[in-house]
Amino acid sequence: MSDDNPLAPEPATEPAPWRAPAKVRAPHNIHAIGIGRTGAAYIEALIRTGEVEDLLAVPGTRFAALLIDIGDDDLLVPGDYARSLKARLRSRGISTDGFHYESLVLAMPDQAALGQLPKGTALPKAGDHVPRAIAKAIFALNAEAGESALQRFADHVKGSDVPSTVLLAYGLAGGTSSGMAVDLAQLLKGKLPASAQVVGVGQLAHSGDGDYFNSAAQYQAIDAVDAALQSSTNPFGGGFFVVASEQSWQRLSAYTSTGLKEVRQRFKQMVTNRFVADSFMRFVMSDGSEHLVRALQPGRGRCTLFDVAKLTHPGVQVLPGEAGSKWDAVLQQWIGFVPKYSRLRDSFRTDYAEVHVHASHDMQTDMIDVSFKEVIASHYLNGGKSGKASYLSFHNELFDVLTAYGNVILPGALKDDFAAYPASKVSFDKLDAAGRLLEQA
């Protein structure tokens, strides 16, 4: 961590910018609920590596995970990792009493059970897009099973005196997840102890996501999140992260054209979404979740952008064995792409930013840090480089010498600050009356 703040002047007069509080008390429990395919990727990322395992080795800690989807295609891999985690805990002599994992499969009902649907509406098949209104209705039809699963989840959270953050992760462009998310968050909020905060994690679709990119569902989902955050009954009391995956997609896609197009597309989507979910969850668990708690403080009542800004990818532009100096221009180029791929509109400004740089010690980390500060200050901070905004930077060493990225965190965004919002509205406006009705929930 860099304690100096070259972008901040002497103590400012009113209004003073937000300042980081003292370190939070450790340990801090992390729990997670994932909805749909994207939610499954975040749950998998959280339990695949050793951070949760190490957390549960601390007396008094607990971890709960719940995965909800229509059909079980995307639940199988996270379930395998959950079983592996439980086995690892036993092998280390760590009690499994602190670990709770459950998946809830919601069946697609017949058309009669859903009541009156717009004329000509056919129920989606497995793997197809589920309109938000239908997803919401399916969750309501499974209310008893859903309430029971949430109660078991909440009871496990209550079993620890350690403060907790509950993450609710889902894809903003998916009808299944975004149709259920706000209602589910409201139900969850009423079941959790006062020591637990609910934090939303909504991932924007990237341009490689096909029909999901700037979809009508995403327009309605962003609207729903914005309305929830402004509500007196806001279920996301801890805050809401909007995760941008576009730069990670663009970095992987650049100069990658070999192999069968369809296979390459699926592979790139999988790698991108896993990389983004892994990056976010490693941030969540780092330093006893101190970074997570601090980063949420200035964004209450608004969204906090979490942009996984990938800078290098193995075998793309610079190949293994080539001179390391070739990375310098590449790093500068992709740091400069942050404003283009952050999915924030040019008018967005904030009083606070932080960047978490991940790179090997062989890369020019000082140059990366300076370049990030230059770009973030110039494009996002009130007053630019000479203003009163706060900027924090953190360095993390990667042992992968061919990969580098920065997690860019910018709080204070409303729906109109996201370029994806008007772009998704275009898709919504193109729907006929029946299609719009199905996406409104």
In tens, the pLDDT along 166-213 reads 999 999 998 888 899 999 999 999 999 988 999 999 999 999 999 999
Would you place residue 40 in the very low, low, confident or very high pLDDT band (cuts 50, 70, 90)?
A: very high
**Side-chain-facing half-sphere of 195: CA atoms under 13 Å:** 15
273 close to 38: Cβ distance less than 8 angstroms: yes
Q: What is the pTM of this model?
A: 0.90
Sorting pLDDT into bands at 50, 70 and 90, what band is 11? very low
- Closest to 37 in 3D by CA, of 307, 283, 273: 273
Instruction: Write out pLDDT tens, residues 375-385.
Output: 999 999 998 77
Domain boundaries, the chain: 29-117+126-242, 245-299+303-413
Note the pLDDT of residue 283.
97
3-state secondary structure of 38: helix
Question: Mind listing the pLDDT tens digit for each residue in 341-361?
Answer: 999 999 999 999 999 999 988
Average pLDDT over residues 39-44: 96
- Does the pLDDT value for residue 236 go beyond 90? yes
pLDDT at 164: 95
pLDDT of residue 163: 92
**Residue-averaged pLDDT of the chain:** 87
Separation between Cα atoms, residue 198 and residue 200, nearest integer Å: 7
Average pLDDT of the segment spanning 25-32: 85
Roughly what angle, to the nearest 10 degrees, separates helices 175-189 and 36-48?
70
Report whether 208 contacts 249 (CB < 8 A). yes
The region of weakest confidence among 221-230, 265-274, 404-413 is 265-274
- Specify the pLDDT at position 157: 97
In this prediction, residue 327 has a pLDDT band, given cuts at 50, 70 and 90, of confident
pLDDT of the residue at 26? 64
pLDDT of residue 247 exceeding 80, the answer is yes
Homologous superfamily (CATH) of 29-117+126-242 is Tubulin/FtsZ, GTPase domain (3.40.50.1440)
